[in-house]
Amino acid sequence: MSFQTIQKLANDVGIDETYIRTMIKNDDLTAYKKDGYKRIYINVDEFNETMKAVNIIDEKINLDDYLV
């Protein structure tokens, strides 16, 4: 498991911090906190699992037709 602060994760993936905070409020993400510290941490693996593509291009493109 790897943890990052909300600010670092938002910066790394290119989204606004408020989006991550909304995901926490909607129980889509679990917020972690170390006792005595004020920063909130997010499990990066959990965040990546919650993200899904809007449209699936895999159904439209047959990769067997291309050299990979």
Q: Where are the domains of the chain?
A: 3-60
pLDDT, tens digit, 9 for 90 and up, residues 4-62: 999 999 999 999 999 999 999 999 999 999 888 889 999 999 999 988 766 666 566 67
The one-letter amino acid code at 21 reads R
Phi, psi of 64 (to 5 degrees): -70, -20
